[in-house]
Structure 1
């Protein structure tokens, strides 16, 4: 009976491709998922920025009725610009008149541009000539939740500051409630 010599086992190359594939497959898959996740986040941020600017332009032109609520604004104005693949239920919009843009950096404003809190949001399209500030928070879906991992809530933020158009030359009212 021919028995292989113990030192010749290192020369046996059968199954090497399967072992190498098993070693490389998992890191490559994780890398590919990370690249897809980063790409999705870039896309969502671009879509959010575009939709914020488009919605701000609608408010600036006076095309948003003062009777609309935040939910009406999101479904009628924001979502059509935001895209068909995003969940609009995770959008929060704060729209308010301000006296000057310096007010936004003061601690008295609960939704400073770096804040991701969604409480205390106001929806007020303002009057002609008023300075306005729009702060949009979007909580995107997590890729980790698709694979059974613990989802993390990362907020994406869009901001716009503008002055409502004043075609009639009306006296500019102070920033006040709606």
Structure 2
């Protein structure tokens, strides 16, 4: 028997076509990986370079500390002396060259560094008692300012004296993105900081050599 009734209404072709296009776009994930990488790339590389810079700076600081301990031991035992009339006497330049040799495993001094400090700064002095040791880092201003090297000298005492050696090195941070977070020397004004200041100190009493 033939049934006569209403025929179902068809959706307009344009609407159906538009729905199909949007549906395909919604399901298309061919560029999702590239988009996600683009979003995450910047923080990823910032963290990566910050980790590398921090690790290298930390390793360099350990080299400075090891060199300071070794040089301090040589002064303490009389292997390095100053103005004692012995063959072990060293001048300021010779002493700086010896420190450069100690840190050469990772940090290379320039040809003129031993004579004229530009990155490596050394202060060796004798004090009358441990109470007279300087309590703070010598700076030209407030926190983050450069070190004040005006009173730095190489003048260790003789046998039985109390001595202090301080070694500072300006380590240049290479990656621009992490410089504001890794550096601890803030230049005056709005210029970008470049250096991380490595610090090593040793205080000791020399033997009766």
Q: Structure 1 pair 123/145, CA: closer, same or farther in 2 (3 Å)?
A: farther
8 A contact 2:50–2:178 mirrored in 1: no
> Which residue in 2 is equivalent to 1:72?
94
Asked if 1:28 is matched to 2:57, the reply is: no
Partner Cα separation in structure 1 for residue 172 and residue 91 of structure 2: 25
Partner Cα separation in structure 2 for residue 21 and residue 54 of structure 1: 48
Q: Secondary structure at the match of 2:168?
A: strand
> Which residue in 2 is equivalent to 1:6?
22
Q: How does 1:17-166 map to 2 (within 5 A)?
A: 17-66=33-82, 68-76=90-98, 78-88=99-109, 89=113, 90-105=119-134, 112-115=135-138, 116-144=147-175, 150-166=192-208
Larger Rg: 2
Partner Cα separation in structure 2 for residue 141 and residue 120 of structure 1: 24
> How far did residue 151 of structure 1 move?
4.0
> How far did residue 84 of structure 1 move?
2.5
Q: Structure 1 pair 40/132, CA: closer, same or farther in 2 (3 Å)?
A: same
Q: Which moved more, 1:79-88 or 1:27-36?
A: 79-88
Partner Cα separation in structure 2 for residue 13 and residue 145 of structure 1: 34
> How far did residue 145 of structure 1 move?
5.7
> How far did residue 161 of structure 1 move?
0.8
8 A contact 2:46–2:178 mirrored in 1: no
Partner Cα separation in structure 1 for residue 129 and residue 52 of structure 2: 40
Q: Which moved more, 1:116-125 or 1:49-58?
A: 116-125
TM-score by length of 2: 0.67
Q: Which moved more, 1:51-60 or 1:38-47?
A: 38-47
Partner Cα separation in structure 1 for residue 59 and residue 92 of structure 2: 24
Q: Which runs of 5+ in 1 are unaligned?
A: 106-111, 168-178
Q: Structure 1 pair 54/114, CA: closer, same or farther in 2 (3 Å)?
A: same
Partner Cα separation in structure 2 for residue 85 and residue 98 of structure 1: 32
